[in-house]
Structure 1
Amino acid sequence: MSVLINLRQAIIQKISNKTDADVEDMIVGSVDGDERALPGLGVLFELIWKESSPEQQQQYITIIQQHLTKNH
């Protein structure tokens, strides 16, 4: 479990002083990219999730479910 905490902390540290453009480039470069980028996207999603209202969280769930339904 400490490996996950260290990874989470390392990812947050890596992006904490980046510009909006840098963060966008990281996201765009990671989407559909190398699977090694998935933990970073997961940490970003976790940050978004924690700051989202229950209504926003439900919207994310709906979007994910709609995407999964389309692709299966």
Structure 2
Amino acid sequence: MNLNLRQAIIQRVTDKSDEELFGVIEDSIGGQEQVLPGLGVLFEIIWQNSGSDVQNQLVSTLKDHLH
């Protein structure tokens, strides 16, 4: 099976419980740089499936922590 990186990451987390997804995220935060693409894919899914209020809050949170 020929999967691209995005598909491989999505396949890795598909059918995980809330607790398992939380663990994947927590384990990836501050970890090795190799996990950053995975976090990017997860963020992409969150972004694409969030309303404008959530997107604005995410941007605001990011901005607040970059200063």
* Same topology, TM > 0.5: yes
% identical equivalent positions = 46
Q: In proportion to residue count, which structure has more helix? A: 1
Match of 2:7 in 1: 9
Provide the alpha-carbon RMSD of the alignment.
Answer: 1.2
Structure 2 residue 38 is the aligned partner of structure 1 residue 20: no
Structure 2 residue 35 is the aligned partner of structure 1 residue 37: yes
In the alignment of these two chains, the number of paired residues is 65
Runs of 4+ in 1 over 2 A off after TM superposition: none
| Structure 1: unaligned runs, 5 residues or longer | none
* Bigger RCO of structures 1 and 2 (CA < 8 A, at least 6 apart): 2
TM-score by length of 1: 0.84
The amino acid of 2:43's aligned partner reads F
| Structure 2: unaligned runs, 5 residues or longer | none
TM-score by length of 2: 0.89
**CA offset at residue 27 of structure 1?**
0.6
Task: Give per-residue Cα distances to partners, 1:8-56, cap 9 Å, x unaligned.
Answer: 0000001102121111111111001111111111111000000111121
